[in-house]
Amino acid sequence: MRLPRRVLVVPALVTTMLLTLLLVGGCSSNGSSDGSSDPTHRHAPPVRSGQGPVGLAADGHGRVWVANADDGTVARLDASGVKVDRRTTVGAAPLRLAVTGGGVWVTVFGYASLTRVDEATGRVTRRVRVGATPEGVAVADGSLWAVLEDPAQLVRVDPATGRVRQLPFGGSAPHPFAVHARALVYLAQVRT
């Protein structure tokens, strides 16, 4: 099966180089991009979100959501970012998060699913089985896009209906991916 025209596979080396350039280009020895020292810049104290935090996403209300793989939860930090104000159990090994339509979607590796947590209530409102080993998730073109690590597939999920379309692309398992404002999906793939 061929990939839709909007899905591009990008070699991992190119992706790594681009990310390195972006990260190094914005850094300086004192942490500011203009080389000056900023006395108003402060670091917040650490916040314990749960066990094994691995994924982060921000919602439209200034809150940060954290996927905690080791304890199977998703935690919401309040808008000040200094305390957890919601914690939801979602299942074994939640990994990555994406926010759309009033919900936070999380890949739940152990349940082979994308799980929706309502932003306001913190309750699980939908679980969509997408296939084995879901890893990354992003939002583009009105859909959720998830990478299935082991079968080397990209899946497109309609968040309203839960309809899943599997898009195999062959080769090794996909790695990180991102979406562009024009609804392009970029995958980094290692080829041996």
pLDDT at 166: 84
The pTM assigned to this predicted structure is 0.72
pLDDT at 11: 36
Q: For residues 74-101, b (16+ Cβ closer than 10 Å) or e, as one string? A: bbbbeeeeeebebebebbebbbbbbbbe
Domain 50-169 has CATH 3.40.50.2000: no
Is 89:106 a contact under the CB 8 Å cutoff? Answer: no
pLDDT at 27: 33
pLDDT at 108: 97
Is 148:132 a contact under the CB 8 Å cutoff? Answer: yes
Q: Residue 182 pLDDT > 90, yes or no?
A: no
Average pLDDT over residues 124-131: 96
Report pLDDT digits (tens) over 9-41: 333 333 322 222 222 333 333 444 444 455 666
Rounded-to-10 torsion of CA 30, 32, 33, 34:
-90
The 8-class DSSP code of residue 93 comes to -
pLDDT at 44: 67
Candidate from 45-54, 129-138, 159-168, 177-186 with smallest mean pLDDT? 177-186
Report pLDDT digits (tens) over 104-122: 999 999 999 999 999 999 9
Report pLDDT digits (tens) over 134-166: 988 999 888 999 988 877 788 999 999 999 998
Q: How confident is the model at residue 97 (pLDDT cuts 50, 70, 90)?
A: very high
Report the percentage of the chain scoring pLDDT > 90: 51
Q: For residues 105-141, b (16+ Cβ closer than 10 Å) or e, as one string? A: bbbbbebbbbbbbebeebebeebbebeebbbbbbbbe
Report pLDDT digits (tens) over 65-92: 999 999 999 999 999 888 999 999 999 9
Q: Residue 96 pLDDT > 70, yes or no?
A: yes
Q: How confident is the model at residue 2 (pLDDT cuts 50, 70, 90)?
A: very low
The 8-class DSSP code of residue 3 comes to P
